[in-house]
Structures are given as structure tokens and as C-alpha cells.
Amino acid sequence: MIEFNYELDFSLENEASTRQWIIDCITKNEGEVGDVNYIFCDDAYLHKINVEFLQHDTLTDIISFDYTLGKLVGGDIFISIERVKENAKEFGVTFANELHRVIIHGILHYLGYKDKTDEEKAEMRAKENECLELLNP
């Protein structure tokens, strides 16, 4: 089950269609839908998690805790709405586009995609784009 939680004054415009899109991306990539919790928050909230659990004293747009077992995709995905807004401006894309890219980025990690090397980053970006095309056919 895919759940959306809010730790700030923000909510997705259409949870049902976003949920179905995430499910479609998981199944298209040969995964099975398990328990995925999205927690939308602000920079301070996510920074605290970053310091406490990852010992990184930096701002970030997403932190995910992966509980995937085999093909059963699961985990907690924390997303800073403040960072997504800033990144959208920086990259010259809409907030909605950047938010959906970040939403699916965590799922793709759970499906085994990495983004440490240039080659891995290119593959991750291609998979993100494939999923975004499912959202906006």
C-alpha cells in the first residue's frame, strides 16, 4: 500500500492518480507493491533526519529508507517540499515535474537502480523519464 503523510501545510493535488502512477512504475519495472510511506516535510525536518540517521549535515531533497524484500518494494521516503521548489527553479522545470521526479527516484532506488557513477546517474535519469512519460502520456 502506498500512503502519503504530511508534516507541513502541503498536500498532493491528486493522491489517487499519483498512487496509481507509482504502482504502474513499480510493476512496469518488474516489482511488486509493498508498503511505501511518503512523508512530505520541510528542510528542517529532513535535515534533522539526515544528521541523526546518516550523519550528513547538509540539506537534501529526499532521503529514503529501503525495506524492499526481493521484488516486494517497500520503504519510507522523506521529501523536502522546500528543496523540491528550489531545485525546480534551479533546473528550470515546473514544481510538479520536479516533485514527480523525486517521488519516483526513491522507488527506482528500491528497484535496484543506483546513482553514484555517471553511468548509473544516466540510467537513473532515463528510468525517471520513462516513469514521467507514464504520468503524462
- Identify the pLDDT of residue 54: 87
Supply angle C-alpha 108, 83, 77, rounded to 5: 35
For residue 5, what are the β-bridge partners? Answer: 39
Rounded CA separation 137/135 (Å): 6
pLDDT tens-place string over residues 15-40: 999 999 999 999 999 999 999 999 99
Amino acid letter, residue 31: G
Residue ranges covered by each domain of the chain: 2-135
| Strand (E) or helix (H) holding 111 | none
Superfamily of domain 2-135: Metalloproteases ("zincins"), catalytic domain (3.40.390.30)
pLDDT tens-place string over residues 64-113: 999 999 999 999 999 999 999 999 999 999 999 999 999 999 999 999 99
pLDDT confidence bin for 9, thresholds 50/70/90: very high
| Strand (E) or helix (H) holding 128 | helix 118-135
- Identify the pLDDT of residue 58: 87
What integer best gives the mean pLDDT of the chain? 95
Amino acid letter, residue 82: E
Rounded CA separation 80/89 (Å): 15
